[in-house]
Each structure stands twice: as C-alpha cells, then as structure tokens.
C-alpha cells in the first residue's frame, strides 16, 4: 500500500491519556513540547495518495489500516518541517525578519500572490507611513512600525483568518515585498506585537486616516450620511470573560466580541470601527463616533442610519436643549433613521 511508504511510521497501541486538553493534547503540552502526544498520520497518508492521483479520504485510510492489523498509526513531533497537508514538507527554518535589501534581491522571483502589490499605489497615495507616525504605533529595533502594520495587512488581504496561519505566507516573496521585509515576522512575533497595541493607537490611526479620506474625496466631509451597524463576532473558545451578545446568524445570544462599524453611505467606504465593546458602553458607541467625526471633519454627521428597532434613547435622553451646543450632532436629538429587524 502506498500509504505505508509515506514515512517512518510505527504501530502503537491506542492509549487514551487520562487528561486531555483542546485539540486532543494532554493538558499543559503543546505541539513543540517533547511531552506532547504523537500525531495520527491518516490525514498525511490521505494527502500523499491524493498527490499520487489515487485519492482516498482519511476515514478509508483508517479502515484499511485496521483491516491490515496496524491499528492507529502515530508519528512523533517534527520540529523542522510543517506537518500540515496543505504545506507538506515545508522547511520552517526560515531567516529572521529584517528590512528588505533590494540590492540583494534577484531580478526575478516567482510568487502566487502578486496581487498584493496592487494595493501599494493606494497606500502611497494615503501616505501610510505618515498615518502610522501620527497614530504613534511602536516599532522595534529591527522592524519599523509601518512594516509591522503591512505584515498584518498582508494577512487580511489574502483572507488569512488567523495570525497563527502566517506560515502560509512566509515563503512567498510578494508578502515580504509588500511589508518591506525579506520575510514576514513569525506568528509569535506578530501576536506579541498585536498585544502591544492599545485603543489609543487605533483611534489615532482612524482620525488620521479619515482626514486623508476626506481630502482625497473618499469620504464626505459636510452633510455626511452614515450607515451604522453592530456586529457580534463568534468566539469558539472557552473564555469566560466574554459577554453574551445576540448573533443574528444563530438567532441566539452567545459569547462573542461585539464590534461597531460606520460606513459613508455616499462613497461606501468604512470610516470608523470599534471592537471589544461591552454592554455597558454599547449605547454610547454611536455618540463616540459622532465625537470622532466632528473632530476629524469639523462638521456633525448629517444623518445616522442603523438597522435596529430603535436608537439608543438612553443616551439621547441625557441631552437637553441647553447642552445642544456640545452634543455630537449639534442638537438635543440628532437626526436618526432606523429600520426594524423584526
């Protein structure tokens, strides 16, 4: 059988550990831990058979192995190469991330993600380095702040769902070229950098970005109409600190991260976003956006449109005509249009 030649595989008894954590690992161990349990190779054998044009799913592979008397085949950790079927045989010992030396690069490189480079003219027109400087994003001794943000942007542009999946881009020269680096930072470095950022950095970046959008005609400065929306992002872990919010796709309340977006209805560009919103601050998030827009544009929003049964009247009720001069929308009750989801 071709699957028996897929690597050095030894039959081992099916011993169920007394305590297991997530993803079938023993509690307190990780993929790189020597004490981590060995990995089943059914999926790896199935991928090898598919590459040889004799596809067979992992369930069928397991059944054939059982019929041959092998039981469950396991493989120990492989620190040098990726064990993912999508990246089989990839050497993960890549060079450290550093600023790109164009003089040392070859004249021609092969890439499957050359489309990433199409965004560079737009980023140059918005003067991204100046936006990063105004927001106060931190850099490191080796990697400047702009390259850190472009590395994270590369993940979004390629629809890479998690920072931990950056391995799919490490060997691609287009991703490194976009960020101005020889290769993108590894997942641990990107995760550590993300934790260094605060809400003040994001607010500063949005303020600088919106001013650029207005100057470039990509957002409406005066008489602006905005579409507002709250969106709950499902959390699949077991974090007890998260609150329960209504998730429309599931028609129920579940532990999730509540986000808020504001879109210019004229240009259809996003001009504001917020995340990690709690129930206690949700009602004031619309007011926070009005304050933000008055600061960056010098004008109050002309009309706010939100797809919900009613506006956050608890906040509007706290405004009085005497305080209208300081209200975000310049009146005791700002212009509001709402559509019911019922």
Task: Share the mean pLDDT of the chain.
Answer: 76
Instruction: Enter the tokens of residue 183.
Output: 């290769």
Q: Can you give the pLDDT at residue 313?
A: 52
User: Do 271 and 168 share a structural domain?
Assistant: no
Please report, for residues 112, 246, 275, 280, 282, the alpha-carbon distance to residue 231 in angstroms, rounded to integers and kept in the order given.
33, 9, 9, 16, 11
Same domain, 108 and 81: no
Structural domain ending residue among the three candidates 196, 211, 237: 196
Mean of pLDDT values over 180-185: 90
Q: Is residue 165 part of a domain?
A: yes
- Give pLDDT tens digits for 136-169: 999 999 999 999 999 999 999 998 878 878 888 8
Q: Render the burial of 195-228: b for 16+ CB within 10 Å, e for the rest.
A: eebeeebebbbbbbbbbbbbeeebbbbeebbbbb
Query: Are 284 and 317 found together in one domain?
Result: yes
Q: Is residue 189 part of a domain?
A: yes
> Which of 87, 116, 132 is at the close of a domain?
87
pLDDT digits (tens, 9 = 90+) for 269-304: 999 998 878 888 888 899 999 999 999 999 999 999
- 91 band by pLDDT with thresholds 50, 70 and 90: low
Residue 200: pLDDT over 50: yes
- The stretch 85-105 carries a mean pLDDT of 70
Domain count for the chain: 3
pLDDT at 15 over 70: no
Domain with 247 in it: what CATH number? Answer: 3.30.420
Phi, psi dihedrals of residue 115, rounded to the nearest 5°:
-60, -20
Supply the range of the domain harboring residue 231. 220-338
Residues 52 and 146 in one domain: no
- Nearest C-alpha neighbor of 315 from the set 295, 290, 340, 337: 290
Q: Is residue 249 part of a domain?
A: yes
User: Of the given ranges (132-141, 221-230, 297-306, 320-329), which has the lowest mean pLDDT?
Assistant: 320-329
Q: Give the whole-number percent of the chain exceeding pLDDT 70.
A: 70
Per DSSP, the three-state class of 226 is: strand
pTM: 0.64
Give pLDDT, residue 103. 84
Q: Residue 323 pLDDT > 60, yes or no?
A: no
147 occurs within a structural domain: yes
């Amino acid at each position: 059988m071709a699957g028996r030649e897929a690597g050095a595989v030894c039959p081992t008894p099916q011993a169920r550990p007394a305590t297991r954590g997530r993803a079938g690992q023993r509690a307190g161990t990780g993929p790189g831990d020597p004490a981590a349990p060995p990995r089943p190779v059914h999926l790896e054998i199935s991928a090898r058979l598919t590459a040889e044009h004799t596809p067979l799913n992992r369930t069928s592979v397991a059944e054939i192995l059982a019929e041959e008397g092998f039981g469950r085949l396991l493989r120990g950790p492989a620190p040098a190469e990726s064990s993912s079927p999508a990246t089989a045989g990839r050497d993960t010992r890549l060079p450290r991330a550093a600023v790109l030396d164009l003089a040392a690069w070859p004249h021609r490189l092969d890439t499957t993600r050359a489309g990433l480079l199409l965004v560079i003219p737009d980023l140059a027109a918005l003067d991204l380095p100046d936006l990063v400087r105004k927001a106060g994003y931190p850099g490191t001794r080796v990697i400047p702040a702009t390259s850190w943000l472009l590395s994270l942007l590369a993940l979004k542009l390629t629809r890479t769902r998690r920072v931990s999946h950056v391995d799919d881009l490490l060997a691609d020269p287009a991703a490194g070229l976009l960020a101005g680096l020889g290769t993108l930072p590894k997942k641990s470095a990107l995760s550590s950098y993300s934790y260094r950022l605060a809400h003040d950095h994001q607010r500063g970046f949005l303020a600088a970005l919106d001013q650029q959008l207005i100057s470039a005609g990509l957002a409406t400065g005066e008489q602006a109409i905005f579409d507002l929306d709250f969106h709950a992002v499902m959390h699949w872990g077991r974090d007890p600190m998260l609150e329960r919010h209504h998730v429309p796709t599931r028609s129920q309340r579940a532990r999730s991260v509540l986000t808020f977006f504001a879109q210019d209805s004229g240009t259809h560009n996003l001009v504001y976003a917020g995340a990690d919103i709690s129930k206690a601050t949700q009602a004031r998030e619309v007011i926070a956006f009005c304050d933000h827009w008055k600061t960056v544009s010098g004008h109050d929003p002309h009309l706010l449109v939100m797809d919900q049964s009613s506006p956050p009247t608890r906040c509007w009720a706290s405004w009085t005509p005497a305080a209208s001069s300081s209200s975000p929308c310049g009146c005791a009750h700002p212009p509001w249009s709402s559509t019911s989801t019922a």
